Amino acid sequence: MTERLSDVTTGTNTSATGSDSTDDVDTSTGTSTSTGTGTSTGSAEVADSRKTTEGTVYTVTGGDWDEVLADAVHDERIVMNLGPQHPSTHGVLRLVLELEGESVTHARSVIGYLHTGIEKNLEYRNWVQGVTFITRTDYLAPLHHEAAYCMAVEKLLGITVPDKAQAIRVLLMEINRISSHLVALATGGMELGALTGMTSGFREREEALHLLEHLTGLRMNHAFIRPGGLAQDLPDDAVEKITAFVKVMEKRLPDYDKLLTGQPIWRNRLAGVGYLPVDACLALGITGPILRSAGLAWDLRKIEPYSGYENYSFDVPTSNAADCFARYLLRLEEMHQSLKIIKQVVKTLPTGPVMVEDAKIAWPAQLTIGSDGMGNSLEHVRKIMSQSMESLIHHFKLVTEGFKVPPGQVYVPVESPRGELGYHVVSDGGSRPMRVHLREPSFVNLQSMPAMCEGGMVADVIASVASIDPVMGGCDR
């Protein structure tokens, strides 16, 4: 029987090399009857094959698949794009994977799909307006960005923030750490098929976001921490709300051990996967839970305390397993330690102002907030509009022009949920930053992806990326 396999003038020639596309083919055996050099032997032990312009094509009819592909294992490689539109790549991360079967032989990450130019935008806003931008970089840990940026500005100004503002900053950052780790756990569970872990993680995260909304006025992107202190004091019932939150979390966090930690499928999907020892972490600049999972207890809250962290008692959990399962366990334990810090802050919360007294820096200066928590109160508007022309002028200049910062440059790091978050801020003496550069842990930690994934299976790539917990807003910024 004669069958036309392809038209070599318009498409791929799938016939045997050198043969005519109209050669006869014995369809009963699948063996070509042409005399081309690519004719297969038709042996029952191996699959029939033929050479095409796209490479070797195999006709598999049975037998052991590993033996069939043994001769071609080094020749048949697939390059696959995982993302950027993929639910398992944490937003808009693109992974280019070279595969041999199910094994990853080469992996690289492609970033930049969420680039917003936040660092450059900061050069065109005054120092206080910058808070609105940097809080949108790592949108899962906005309060850590606000704290690091404001600490850098305060260091350039040479001012000391009131004790109550420092304590509230610690409180907010630890609540934010819990909410961020819950997202890491929930999204990791979703990507690995543990959907109950996903629904539970986001349920608990809602508790944290409800509390942050009550304390700051917004669920995310708060712009609550300002240079010199805070935008406003905590509401009157803050202690009551925080205490209720701690009780709920202390009740629910142990459920994750029951649901996931002892679950054999969850353990098998994570244990021994994404291995990255401490020397590799140090060579790549990896910090946060990834570094601590390799055995090094490096936590800036202990190593280089800031905002009064030295006044609180807490542990830095570590592990020597250096795999995805260890990072999961560490994040779970870090949430318990954050609750421990929160309880201490509430118990020892100082009294006093939450903003420096220098009226040339304090913004909002002598401001009372409206009932919606956003705008100026009528009392404040009446005062600056009808009672004090000086107050109106000062308020206008402070809002529109901002304050000036002495020339210089500083680097201030904090321990974000993903590792060392550092702000390198440069001032030329004006009312706007000359340069702001972020040492963003998502960007740095993402370097570990190839080391974790190469040599493993495709399915393990998902677990490894989830254990890195990158936030692409911070990575691309």
Residue 330 · residue 289 · CB < 8 Å: yes
- pLDDT by residue (tens digit) across 5-37? 334 344 444 444 444 444 444 444 444 444 444
3-state helix, strand, coil in the chain (%, to 5): 45, 15, 40
- The mean per-residue pLDDT over the stretch 312-327 comes to 94
Q: Which residues, at least 6 apart from 188, have a Cβ–Cβ distance to it below 8 Å?
A: 197, 328, 463, 466, 467, 469
Residues in the chain: 477
- pLDDT by residue (tens digit) across 185-215? 999 999 898 889 899 999 999 999 999 999 9
More reliable by pLDDT, 8 or 300? 300
CA geometry: angle 47, 50, 53, nearest 5 deg: 140
Q: Is 217 left (phi over 0), alpha (psi -120 to 50) or beta?
A: left
At residue 308, does pLDDT exceed 50?
yes
Q: Is 230 helix (H, G, I), strand (E, B) or coil?
A: strand
Q: Is 18 left (phi over 0), alpha (psi -120 to 50) or beta?
A: left
At residue 70, does pLDDT exceed 70?
no
- pLDDT by residue (tens digit) across 446-465? 999 999 998 899 999 999 99
- pLDDT by residue (tens digit) across 206-260? 999 999 999 998 899 988 999 999 988 899 899 999 999 999 999 999 998 888 9
d(CA 159, CA 200): 43
More reliable by pLDDT, 170 or 262? 170
More reliable by pLDDT, 65 or 49? 49
Q: How distant, in Å, are the alpha carbons of 1, 32, 35, 42 from that of 23?
A: 9, 8, 9, 17
DSSP string, 169-188: HHHHHHHHHHHHHHHHHHHH
- pLDDT by residue (tens digit) across 130-160? 999 999 998 899 999 999 999 999 999 999 9
More reliable by pLDDT, 467 or 368? 467
- pLDDT by residue (tens digit) across 413-434? 999 999 999 999 999 999 999 9
At residue 38, does pLDDT exceed 60?
no
d(CA 91, CA 83): 9
Q: How many CB atoms sit inside 10 A of residue 203's CB?
A: 12
At residue 264, does pLDDT exceed 70?
yes
What's residue 154's pLDDT? 94
- Ranked by mean pLDDT, the top range of 20-29, 102-111, 291-300, 368-377 is 291-300
Give the amino acid at 116. Answer: T
Q: Which residue from 240, 220, 322 is spatially nearest to 275, judged by alpha carbons? A: 322
- Give the largest Cα separation in the chain, rounded: 103
- The DSSP element (H or E) to which 110 belongs, if any, is strand 103-110
Paired residues of 421 in beta bridges: 414
d(CA 213, CA 215): 6
B/e letters for 422-445, b = 16+ CB within 10 Å, e = fewer, are bbebbbeeeebbeebebbbbbbbb
Burial class of 336 by CB neighbour count within 10 A (0 to 12, 13 to 18, 19+) = middle
- pLDDT by residue (tens digit) across 370-391? 666 556 677 767 766 666 677 7
Q: Cα-flanking dihedrals φ and ψ of residue 427, to 5°? A: -120, 140
What's residue 157's pLDDT? 93
At residue 108, does pLDDT exceed 70?
yes
Q: How distant, in Å, are the alpha carbons of 102, 192, 324 from that of 460?
A: 10, 9, 10
pTM of the full predicted structure? 0.80
